[in-house]
Amino acid sequence: MSLYRSHVLICGGTGCTSSGGAKLIDEFEAQLKANGLENEVKVVKTGCFGLCALGPVVVVYPEGAFYSRVEKEDVAEIVTEHLLKGRIVKRLVYDETIAENDDTIKSLNEVDFYKKQMRVALRNCGVINPENIEEYIAFDGYKALATVLTEMTPQDVIQVIKDSNLRGRGGGGFPTGLKWDFASKSVNEQKYVCCNADEGDPGAFMDRSILEGDPHSVLEAMAIAGYAIGANQGYIYIRAEYPIAVERLEIAIKQAKEYGLLGDDIFGTGFSFDIGLRLGAGAFVCGEETALMTSIEGHRGEPRPRPPFPAVKGLWGKPTILNNVETYANIPVIINKGAEWFNTIGTEKSKGTKVFALGGKINNTGLVEIPMGTTLREIVEEIGGGVPNGKKFKAAQTGGPSGGCIPASLIDTPIDYDSLISIGSMMGSGGLIVMDEDNCMVDIAKFFLEFTVDESCGKCTPCRIGTKRLLEILDRITKGNGTLEDLDRLELLCYSIKNASLCGLGQTAPNPVLSTLRYFRDEYVAHVVDKKCPAGVCKELTNYVILEDKCKGCSACARKCPVGAISGEIKSPFTIDINKCIKCGACVETCKFNAIVKK
């Protein structure tokens, strides 16, 4: 086995791959060979490093040099300067990792983006090659499964998970140990363990990144769950839009079987457990546990009434547990380090960490994992690097279409299950979308309603018809045709849908509307009474105006306008005919003098 003096870690997650990261691997290997370094430097394809805004990312160890936005043309310089001559290529290094005084490379734990994070579920992402089981084993992989099978009874395992106070990371926050306990007490010759990797929230990619960067952690956890409840078969339900995750899961399952870590008589203990993949077509409703199981069975994904709950009657009518990817990713660590260790992280009622996909109007978009109780301010201003372009933070949407908006006035709210629910939002699976002053909150509510209307399975009337009525009212308001009575109708309809819908999709669909009504009612009133959109987003309520004192009369806007709505004479202020204007915004993008504004 070769010993390497340097390792080049290249992000192989979807984000970096889509921006050219895959080409870097071949180029590094070619350049290393050309410089006679192929036996001294190892190239490792990893999962996501988290700081997606700077991808493609390349990290060189042992120095820990964090190269960002690396292009294929940069590889030769990194190889010849850094790996051959020992000189770090500073122009490509993420500037926050360079110490101000002596230009030395700082540890990533000292960088604002990382220093308040704690990677538990993401512990191996960006560290190991997810397609090499031996690298997972080298980082205590399958140690927890060995401990469970050789030293613990099924009830011992359930008790540890109970004592850890781990709550489901898929959105509901139900105690994981309690769910396992219910299934273990259900008497049946056949039981199942399911993993929800459907992840349908707009802007969410937490589970995808774990599966791309550390698939074995989920396989190991599912086997542990199978032992705990008495199941011998597991299924991972993953959307087909995740080709990299699917491929790495297939590789991981094959490797685990070859190593005797899945299949018959694992570790010679007599315990057998196998895992199969089932691809979903991207239906949001299949994130609901009973709809997911219905889809695995080969039927249209529609929820079932509960009770009976899946722990009693689930997949094919047999006792079944279902947890999401992130929940499972925590299990091996809890077994290895103990419930007491896990309880030292987080808040009194929300233990451990939570992974968020940080997106929207934020400088550091990416994947973050923070201890429960970290405030929204810390996430936005410190980890996220604040709102770009000098704009003001306005709100953050947590929980996707099922969640709610947190206004700037509540930016110091701790991120945990109970705190979010108390202010009308929810944890959800972990999407966190940041909005600035240019976002219209009525339009945001409408956006999420459009999504849930499209994704409703149509089985129950409150969701199928109620969400459409909500969307119709919001559409009227954004077009200037709403009334104050419509605001009362919105609230009444929201609560009716929440109370009468069959599953979580319908029960939570009104949340974005209710939270924006609660915290941004003045914007709704402006749309209804003043017939104006304060943020200038809703086209029917917005006009483009050329400021005479700023217009230089260059005619660039007139030449760009697709409908000839702008006229004037050269070197004199131009004007916009609001009756012809289609409000496409092309003139604003063209003007170099900031002379065109929305009113």
What's the pLDDT tens digit per position in 337-360? Answer: 999 999 999 999 999 999 999 999
Spatial distance between the Cα atoms of 508 and 288, rounded to a whole number of angstroms: 12
- pLDDT at residue number 2: 67
- pLDDT at residue number 211: 97
Strands 41-46 and 6-11: parallel
CB 324 within 8 A of CB 195: yes
- pLDDT at residue number 325: 97
- pLDDT at residue number 50: 95
- pLDDT at residue number 563: 95
Beta bridge partners of 234: 193, 275
Long-range interactions of 579-583: CB distance < 8 A, separation 24+: 581/543, 581/544, 583/539, 583/542, 583/543, 583/544
- pLDDT at residue number 104: 83
- Max Cα separation, the chain? 88
CB 282 within 8 A of CB 291: no
Query: Torsion over CA of 128, 130, 136 and 141, rounded to 10 degrees?
Result: 130
pLDDT tens profile 533-559: 999 899 999 899 999 999 999 999 999
Q: One digit per residue, pLDDT tens: the chain, 599 residues?
A: 468 999 999 999 999 999 998 899 999 999 999 999 999 999 999 999 999 999 999 999 999 999 999 999 999 999 999 999 999 999 999 988 887 776 788 888 899 999 999 999 999 999 999 999 999 999 999 999 999 999 999 999 999 999 999 999 987 889 999 999 999 999 999 999 999 999 988 888 999 999 999 999 999 999 999 999 999 999 999 999 999 999 999 999 999 999 999 999 999 999 999 999 999 998 999 999 999 999 999 999 999 999 999 999 999 999 999 999 999 999 999 999 999 999 999 999 999 999 999 999 999 999 999 999 999 999 999 999 999 999 999 999 998 888 899 999 999 999 999 999 999 888 888 889 999 999 999 999 999 999 999 999 999 999 999 999 999 999 999 999 999 999 999 999 999 999 999 998 999 999 999 999 999 999 999 999 999 999 989 999 989 999 999 999 999 999 999 999 999 999 999 999 999 999 998 999 999 999 999 88
Q: Any alpha helices (H) in 438-572, and if so which ranges?
A: 441-455, 461-478, 484-500, 504-508, 511-519, 521-525, 556-560
- pLDDT at residue number 107: 87
